[in-house]
Amino acid sequence: MSASAKPEGAGWFGPAFAVVAALVVFRLALLPFAQAEIFVDEAQYWLWGQELAFGYYSKPPMIGWLLRAVTDLAGSDAAFWLRAPAAVLHGITALLLAGLAAELADRRTAILVAASYITLPLVAVGSFLISTDTVMFPFLAGALWAWVRVIREQSRVAAVVAGACVGLAVMSKYAGIYYVLCAGLAALFVPSARVRWGDAVAALVALLIVISPNVIWNIQNGLSTLEHTMDNADWVRDPGKRAGLNWASLAEFAGAQIVVFGPVLLAGLLWSAVRRRSAMLLWFSLPILALVCGQALLSKAYANWAAAAYLAGTTAAVIVVRGWGRWAMGASLALGTGFAVVLVGATVFAASLRLGDGPLLMERYLGRIDMSAEIAARAETAGVTTIVADDRDVLADLFYRIRGRGVEGQIIGLEAYARPELGRPPNHYVQSHAWPGGTGELLYVTRRADPPICEGAEALEPIIPREGAFRRRPQQVWRVPGDCWGQ
């Protein structure tokens, strides 16, 4: 694709790249000093990368493949290498959205879109914690830009690119499928957003080809990720009993979007809808927000579940906010930059940041190394080399520190397994790493206050952290025979 199809959009790349690169380099430079420990999801994504497949328990495979490639090239599984791709991917996304803005508006709007996206609160967080949203975003941004080319130029090549990009987005996170719905709604309600049937079919075929390995994997593995998605939606399994009008949940989700997207840009996006500006972009944003708001009303929704809405949403919002005057755009960028700087400080000083005598502000990202180290010490004292646990957070960090290369707090000479469970596995560890049974003794670590224990089990002193992620989740420790769950 060329830099822009509009003369007034030419020359955007250099300034946009300078703005984006400055913030990406800033984040990468401070990342080694971050005290926030590898989170449970990050550790699980890393483990998936050690077990390459076309799908996993709760997500499609792209993030696992990415982390495997990066850590193999680096020769290390240290936290920096797990998280460094996040800042780079957001930088790529910012530039793709700038290209889209140059296509639809002008050079200045393109630069402002790049600056606005790279300073979004959700991007600031996503640049320090690797997530499936972060991996999905560049593909969705590329798909959106390519789809604009399909609309304007009736390009079959651009249609295939758009479909393939959506497919790669779906292979990163299933929320990428929203864009199929959005394209259909845009074509239905915006005549200028319609494409030739041949181009639409080409895009759909490209999408299906790209996602087919994951579809086949799901069929072969009992539709594992579909089951997990239904668990997240909750109410869909039994609407009569589980669905209800949860206004508090809706209010909480809606309020969180002010933080996720920023108050000025969110106001700009909503005003764009009122004034019917950037109609095509709105259909790639507002339906996603509406769907997740519906989920929040019927059950619950996490703040990032509508994140895909803010790719097209950033461009639509900037076009409106820019028209309000320099003060509005300046306020938006200042708030975003300020949040980004505060977040960097919070991660660097996470181990000491608290309000008064209260708990650590970032306690959910701390204490995991200490828990794994204490469990390893207990195993050594008990004279065993096998650990079985039933807490996903405990298992995630144990696997990372037992198997990782060059990770902080690495544990040598131990093996970890999940406690076997009857019925459908509740997580990846039970699905793929349940204790198969055996002889000898092992250490059983459980968050259950009074777990059912087999004959011959010996209760040891529990682990009760005073700080960090496990402050409210003490772990009971038992020495049990290896055939404990086979009896």
Amino acid at 60: P
pLDDT band of 194, cuts 50, 70, 90: very high
Residue 126 CA to residue 20 CA, distance in Å, equals 15
Residue 129 has phi, psi (to 5 degrees) of -135, 115
Helix segments in 262-391, DSSP class H: 263-275, 279-283, 286-298, 309-323, 326-348, 368-382
Write down the pLDDT at residue 196.
Answer: 95
Over the Cα atoms of the chain, what is R_g? 24
Parent domain of 470: 367-486
pLDDT in tens, 206-227: 999 999 999 999 988 877 766 6
Write down the pLDDT at residue 301.
Answer: 85
345 is a domain residue: no
136 is a domain residue: no
383 is a domain residue: yes
20 is a domain residue: no
Residue 86 CA to residue 128 CA, distance in Å, equals 7
101 is a domain residue: no
Amino acid at 441: E
Closest CA to 98 of 277, 326, 282, 318: 318
Starting at the edge strand that comes first in sequence, how are the strands of the sheet with 458-463 ordered?
Answer: 415-418, 386-389, 441-446, 475-481, 458-463
Closest CA to 150 of 113, 122, 187: 187
The reported pTM is 0.92
Write down the pLDDT at residue 394.
Answer: 97
Domains in the chain, number: 1
pLDDT in tens, 334-389: 999 999 889 888 999 988 888 888 888 899 999 999 999 999 999 999 999 999 99
pLDDT in tens, 15-36: 999 999 999 999 999 999 999 9
pLDDT in tens, 218-277: 988 877 766 656 555 554 445 555 556 788 889 999 999 999 999 999 999 999 998 877
- Give the number of other CB atoms < 10 A from CB of residue 378: 19
CA distances from 231 to 114, 148, 192, 234 (A): 36, 35, 39, 5
Task: Provide the token pair at 338.
Answer: 């300020």
Q: What is the largest CA-CA distance in the chain?
A: 79
218 is a domain residue: no
Write down the pLDDT at residue 221.
Answer: 83
